[in-house]
Amino acid sequence: MPLKQEGALRQSQVITTYGPGSLVDLPDRSVIVGGLEYWTGGYPGEPGQQLQPISEERLVAKLKTYLQLERLELYPPPAAEDIGAPPTGRLPGIRVFEFPEWFVADWLDPNETRYRARPLVHKRRLVGGKFEAPTGKKCSVVAVRFVQGCENGHVSDMDWYGFTHYWDRDSTCRRPLWLEERGTSGELVDLFVRCECTQERSVAQAQRMGTEALGFCKGTRPWLGEDAGEQCKANADGAPFPNRLLLRSASNAYFAQVLRAISIPEPDTKVRMAVDVLWSGVLSTIPSRESLEQLMTVMKLPILTPLAAFGVDNVWGEIERRRGVGGGSSKPLKAAEIETLLSSASEIGEDVPTGADFFARRVAHTDQGAMKYVERVVLVHRLREVVAQLGFTRFEAVAPDIDGELKLDLRRAELAREVRWLPAIENRGEGFFLALRTDAVKKWMARDKVRARGEQLANGFAAWAASRQVKDAKFPGLPYYMLHSLSHLLISAVALECGYSATSIRERIYATDAGYGILLYTGGSDAEGTLGGLVEVGRRLAKSGDALEAALDLGRLCAHDPVCSQHSPDQAQEER
């Protein structure tokens, strides 16, 4: 077993928290994670053997639509267990760049007796990575915790000289800077940057929104290497965003933009089954139709003999479909999933020991108590979830809508200078699906109290969208609010008996024209998410309905009362 390398991350962390463009504190420095061009371990463009792509055609089709690409593949982040046996001769990993380039030295100014003042220096002034004090002592340094960024995801060092001198264009002062703590609160109002020319300024003023604080964004993208900047555009006129103060370790410094899809069985066709058998061994590496024809008809490779009956064109078409070449489906991701879960009379997928991405079985359920509002219960013994990152944002998170879709015009920072592939992971797990009767949901929506509450929620949503200037904001709708609340109550009710913690159970809410339902599932990159606990809970739920009754009982009292009970969603002062 190889030891965990210093700085190693789980693959799932890479595409959710520490992806390209994220700011990371290592033991002795601060860095920004490099873009996809700086990933090694068998990715497109590298010499030698290439990694196997992750296949999920519905997800790939959507990603191609969002990114306006004709061809796209998904690959996993570098795996730590591959160290020592790299397929390309290069160690797998992700290159990072030192960022920011300004540091605070661990040395107090002996001439300043009123405040704690430390040198604020650029890395060009460091000697061997240390600050050389006037006394000759070499002191350690730490990266300054303040940088600047914009809503397009760009990030750069603050212009500390320009900021300190109030953007005086006539000033050419480059005398030493000091960061002074003038209080014990740790707040920005107690932190000042001072130049030895006597100019000083409170760091709190960098929080001001507008051009007078930090100037306009120059489109800097240090995660993509040198000279990777672009024009920052805030609107159609091409005007840039004003820079905003950003704390490196703050929660709003990086929001990964990801899409998730549950692998659902495709219609069984003979050509798909035949290609699937030979995919990982031979077909995944064939570069063109001409190469396939050479192998099938001229060389007549014995292993490809089972494909001869389908013809070269059909086989090549299936290969391109698996690779995500061509156009995609316009059907929302969640719509196809719930249609599959609601369509089967008994079983969905194949119950085989290995190789199955999805297997579910519908079970009969009681119609007593709250279960009379349930249309069906489906036990999902095996499922595969593919999660792909297509970009990231700063300051404000952008999540898919209730159908699992993203808008085409959303702002996002790119993961590479030229996107040819995207990072993704596969999670395998189990769970159960609970579908509510459509007529029961509509009857509930027609109740006077529900309609009144819905108006409050809609007005609150409109106020939130207006304050953040969100264009074409779509109110999720009352069924989604109800299902989301019920989902969290169910998670709390089943967590103690299923063997998984509440934080390990995920939810997928379906509030579409096809139907209303909740999929509770768990998943991991290995067999850890397939222990069978959630399936067993679903089986007991179908027989007695105890878990649903317990969930509804939990909803009778909110832990945030009386604050929650006094909250009005459409109150302008709250905006929540």
| pLDDT tens digits for range 482-513 | 999 999 999 988 887 887 788 888 899 999 88
Task: Tell me the three state secondary structure of residue 104.
Answer: strand
pLDDT digit string (tens) for 339-370?
888 877 676 766 555 566 778 888 898 888 89
Give the containing element (helix H, strand E) for 544.
helix 533-544
pLDDT confidence of residue 464: 80
Q: Is 195 helix (H, G, I), strand (E, B) or coil?
A: strand
Neighbours of 554 (CB within 10 A): 15
**What is residue 460's predicted lDDT score, i.e. its pLDDT?**
85
Report pTM: 0.81
Phi and psi based region of residue 441 (left: phi greater than 0; alpha: psi -120 to 50; beta: remaining): alpha
**Predicted local distance difference test score (pLDDT) of residue 100:** 92
pLDDT at position 424, please? Answer: 93
- Nearest 5 degrees, angle CA 565-CA 569-CA 570? 135
Q: Given a cut of 50, is residue 328 above it in pLDDT? A: no
Please provide the average confidence, as pLDDT, over all residues in the chain: 83
Model confidence at 266, in pLDDT bands (50, 70, 90)? low
Pairing of strands 39-40, 116-122: unpaired
For residues 286-313, give the mean pLDDT.
81
Q: Given pLDDT bands bounded at 50, 70 and 90, which one contains residue 3?
A: very low
Q: How many residues does the chain have?
A: 576
Q: Which residues contact 340 (CB under 8 A, 6 or more apart)?
A: 264, 265, 348
The pLDDT value recorded for residue 267 is 52
Residues above pLDDT 70, as percent of the chain:
87
Highest-scoring range by mean pLDDT, 293-302, 348-357, 472-481: 472-481
Three-state secondary structure of 463-529: HHHHHCCCCCCCCCCHHHHHHHHHHHHHHHHHHHHHCCCHHHCEEEEEEECCEEEEEEEEEECCHHH
Q: What is the mean pLDDT of residues 169-190?
A: 84
Q: What is the DSSP letter of 238?
A: -
pLDDT score at 434: 93
Helices vs strands, H then E, count in the chain: 13, 24
At 419-453, the pLDDT tens digits run 999 999 988 888 999 999 999 999 999 999 999 98
Q: 267-270 long-range CB contacts below 8 Å, 24 or more apart?
A: 270/310
